[in-house]
Amino acid sequence: MGAGIAEVCARAGLDTVVCEVDAVAARAARDRVAASLDRAVRRGKLAPDAAADALARTVFTGHLDDLADRQLVVEAVVENPAAKTEVFAALDKIVEDPDAVLATNTSSLPVMRLGMATGRADRVVGLHFFNPVPVLPLVEVVTSLHTSAATTAAVEEFAARTLGKTVIRSQDRAGFVVNALLIPYLLAAVRMAESGFATAADIDTGMELGCAHPMGPLKLADLIGLDTVASIAESLYDEFREALYAPPPLLLRMVEAGLLGRKTGRGFHTYDQA
């Protein structure tokens, strides 16, 4: 997700800095962005010169301090409350411009919690992209009780005019609009497979051919990452305490086993990692 967000920013002509946990991860991030740009060129979606320019205007670093001069920071770390809160507390001290916006790409965590980790909660907002970011046109803008109208207007203009995305607004509730509707559907598919009612392949084929979905629910869960699906489900269940949001045991066991979907080569389906 972070690489995708960086790519769309760079393709929009913005001076972009990507911060990873260390230099090794930063090099891997550069490789991901370069590979994605190359795919866009091969598919005729992007001119070779535009791809080269986008990569040239993107800096990859392993040091959070390199974000000090940014006007907008979009956090996209692991979907873990402690990790995200730690990042926002650090950014509050590092980012020099008091008017800079600190945005989170969280799928489900409260924006308010992250804002309160800073001394500028009015400048903290949810800016939730969808994977793959260069392809999917939607962004959810999520405002907390403290997010100012100026911050909201700024990120909506950034997403819509600068990046060319379609913006929808959501209140600061777990799951926001899309995942509050999507995750119960994915969990229902997991429960169906868990019970032996149907195979993963048949569940996916049923929804693809019977409901014209471009991707079946278990393939989609694998694409999102089963750890991320479980994390979003847990956030939804913690907030609403409704059974439809509770992650099924099979999903939790697969996460414990490291079977996370496409990124590990195996989830409900098997994938070529070459």
The yes-or-no answer on residue 140 being catalytic is yes
- Residue 247's CB: how many other CB atoms inside 10 A? 21
Count Cα neighbours of 251 within 13 Å in the Cβ-side half-sphere. Answer: 26
The yes-or-no answer on residue 131 being catalytic is no
Q: Which of 20, 79, 128, 144 is catalytic?
A: 128
Q: Which of 36, 105, 107, 108 is catalytic?
A: 107
The yes-or-no answer on residue 107 being catalytic is yes
DSSP helix/strand/coil, 56:
helix
The yes-or-no answer on residue 179 being catalytic is yes
Q: Which of 140, 144, 170, 231 is catalytic?
A: 140
Torsions phi, psi of 144, nearest 5? Answer: -90, 180
Report whether 163 contacts 9 (CB < 8 A): yes
Helix (H) or strand (E) holding 61: strand 58-61
Q: At what angle do helices 178-195 and 226-240 cross, to 10 degrees?
A: 110
Count Cα neighbours of 58 within 13 Å in the Cβ-side half-sphere. Answer: 30
DSSP 95-161: ---TT-EEEE--SSS-HHHHHTTSS-GGGEEEEEE-SSTTT--EEEEEE-SS--HHHHHHHHHIIII
Q: Which of 36, 105, 108, 179 is catalytic?
A: 179
Per-residue DSSP letter, 261: B
Tell me which residues are annotated as active site. Answer: 107, 128, 140, 179
